[in-house]
Structure 1
Amino acid sequence: MSTHSVHSHNFLGAAHDANAKRTLWVVTLTVVMMVGEIAAGYITGSMALLADGFHMATHAGALGIAAAAYAFARKHSQSPAYSFGTGKVGDLGGFASALILGLISLGIGVESVIRLFEPSQVQFTMAILIAVIGLIVNIVSALLLGGGGHDHGHSHAHAHAHAHAHHGHGHAHGHGQDNNLRSAYVHVLADAVTSVMAIVALLAGRFLGWVWLDPLMGIVGALVIARWAWSLMKDTAAVLLDKTDEHVAEEIRALLDQAGRLQITDLHVWQVGPQARAAIVSVQGPRAFSAEDVRAALSAVHEVTHLTVEYRAVEN
């Protein structure tokens, strides 16, 4: 016998709306700074400022992707068109941002190597002033984003059981990482790092004549940003490809092993939102057990907010 119940597939993080507002503020700050740098570049004739302004434009675009991902996920969070909700839209936005960040690091690296061998004239005083303003904007943006995506909260869970099936509802507590917010945070950190390195290099060039330090710092900054981009890309790709959450899978195996006389024939555990995991558990065991017993045994796995149990009774 099986029963059907209507339930929500809203697996957005607990701080989704707050993170969306934070990201919009950071996009606004970044766009204002971008316009200021480009305008200052044209007024002073500084190619360095123009280049940094257009570089800031790429970050504004990436941050815009993050803001759009939040809006799309919220708008379609209840849509039946998405089987497991829109909790992973943020990871898609994070992956796109990671690609952009990787391209930015490549561009900075190439330009820095060229300038290392072909030094260009730099208006140190104006460039230092703009770099300091840029750093202040980045610090404010980092504070607005509040640490880059670690969410702690709770969400309502529901469970499905097929073959001797009963549908139940529980309450799950969990924590996870919002990779969309993390991508925005990494872009801000990347800008902050390049600003700090630029200030150090520009001061050295202005007072010590070390014009070679500016492109050298650019190369170092490019390597740091590339490393961040690669880390973000790996983490978001794992979510998008439904990589098994081994920690939760091991917990499920241990709990069913304790229940006794139950054999797992198939197990899938994957992330469907920053704080939500889905699981499909196929189990066989004696007729004295049922799918409801399996579900009860797994009630302690609070990370799983969407559980499907398939139970097959076998002869004792």
Structure 2
Amino acid sequence: MTASAPETPPLDAFRGDRVYLGADHARNERRTWIAVGVSLATLTAQFVGGLAFNSMALVANALHMTAHVAALAVAALAYAVARRYADDPRFAFGTGKVGYLAGFANAAVLAVSAVLIAVESGRRLLAPQDVHYDGALGLAGVALAVNIFCMWLLRPARSHAHDRDGDLNLSAAHLHMAADVAASVLAIIGLGAGRLLGWDQADAVAGLAGAALVAHFAWRLLSRAGAVLLDMNPSAELTAEIRRRLETEDARVIDLHLWRLGPGHHAAVVVVAGEAALRAETCRARLAGLPGLSHVTVETRIAGPDSR
């Protein structure tokens, strides 16, 4: 038995209700496109240089960075799509999850690139080849500098640097560049060991280590993006706070669902049962001001012998 009638606010009250984009959406989109251009130029130089100097570490970096350029382009397009269709009524809860979908796709690309690098590095480990170390080391150093610049460019805004509810699309792009930095460092170590110690297999070992790092980053991204796409509860703390604000001596929460709509935005559906009639607007007022709670649906019931 429902104790409160649905509210009938003016139609204008619902305008913009589906827009759940991150606070730094425009900034992040602009910086991601810049990173695409810089990374594209760098990977071209790395690939050509890797073939010219016969360095597997450089070729592996180029292959890995090719996946990153594609991933960065997907991330940039995700920002553009989310912005373009933010007000489209066909999306019941807006386009805030487009970035998470892009992050999941990028994680899958990372995983594939890790396998390709590992296979080729393993082949080179079994059959070492001559490497032109001086030229390869110089090019690897340039690639490292570019990767560090892109990683800095894609850093989260200071206000969201430690926000678990921040923009995962940007975090994925930033993580891609962090993987590139790590892979570049490993490539330089492998090339340096080969040049100084004469160990031709060091280059391939560096490629294998880079593949392991890429696989680790891919798993982290898959886990984070998958949790959002499957509507897993994003915050035990926010769930507990909603329950605390709504439950009283004569009312209790009998059903509560919380999920993420986009960076910094959450939705909640709550059913509250009480011994006396409750007003839905009263419950909503108790939840007003909760950080990150952008969409709330409340149903109230009179508690009875069948209430659970």
Q: TM-score, normalised by structure 1?
A: 0.86
1:256 aligns with 2:246: yes
Distance 1:292 1:33 in 2: 56
2:99 — aligned with what? 90
1:311 — aligned with what? 300
Structure 1 residue ranges (4+ consecutive) displaced by more than 6 angstroms after TM superposition: none
> What amino acid is aligned across from residue 129 of structure 1 in structure 2?
G
Can you give the 5+ residue segments of structure 2 that lack an aligned partner in the other structure?
A: none
1:178 aligns with 2:167: yes
SS at match of 1:310: strand
Can you give the 5+ residue segments of structure 1 that lack an aligned partner in the other structure?
A: 153-173
Offset at residue 276 of structure 1 (A): 0.3
1:3 — aligned with what? 8
Distance 2:87 2:191 in 1: 52
Is the 2:97–2:262 contact (alpha carbons within 8 Å) kept by the matching residues of 1?
Answer: yes
TM alignment of 1:112-123, pairs within 5 A: 112-123=121-132
Offset from partner CA, 1:21-56 (integer Å, 9 cap, x none) = 1111100001111222334456x3636455543442
> Relative to structure 1, is the Cα distance of residues 266 and 239 closer, same or farther in structure 2, using a 3 angstrom cutoff?
same
SS at match of 2:95: coil
Distance 1:99 1:186 in 2: 14
1:224 aligns with 2:213: yes
> Relative to structure 1, is the Cα distance of residues 149 and 103 closer, same or farther in structure 2, using a 3 angstrom cutoff?
farther
Distance 1:150 1:205 in 2: 44
Distance 2:36 2:255 in 1: 45
Is the 1:149–1:177 contact (alpha carbons within 8 Å) kept by the matching residues of 2?
Answer: no
Is the 2:50–2:136 contact (alpha carbons within 8 Å) kept by the matching residues of 1?
Answer: no
SS at match of 1:96: helix
> What amino acid is aligned across from residue 135 of structure 1 in structure 2?
L
- How many equivalent pairs are there? 294
> Relative to structure 1, is the Cα distance of residues 149 and 227 closer, same or farther in structure 2, using a 3 angstrom cutoff?
farther
1:296 aligns with 2:291: no
Offset at residue 7 of structure 1 (A): 2.6
- Bigger proportion of residues as strand: 1
> Relative to structure 1, is the Cα distance of residues 315 and 189 closer, same or farther in structure 2, using a 3 angstrom cutoff?
closer
Offset from partner CA, 1:116-149 (integer Å, 9 cap, x none) = 1111121111111111110010011011012499
SS at match of 1:80: coil
Distance 2:30 2:252 in 1: 47
1:58 — aligned with what? 67
Is the 1:198–1:217 contact (alpha carbons within 8 Å) kept by the matching residues of 2?
Answer: yes
> Relative to structure 1, is the Cα distance of residues 289 and 147 closer, same or farther in structure 2, using a 3 angstrom cutoff?
closer
Distance 2:254 2:289 in 1: 21
Distance 1:252 1:84 in 2: 20
> Relative to structure 1, is the Cα distance of residues 133 and 61 closer, same or farther in structure 2, using a 3 angstrom cutoff?
same
2:226 — aligned with what? 237
RMSD: 2.3
Offset at residue 288 of structure 1 (A): 4.7
- Segment drifting more, 109-118 vs 66-75: 109-118
SS at match of 1:56: helix
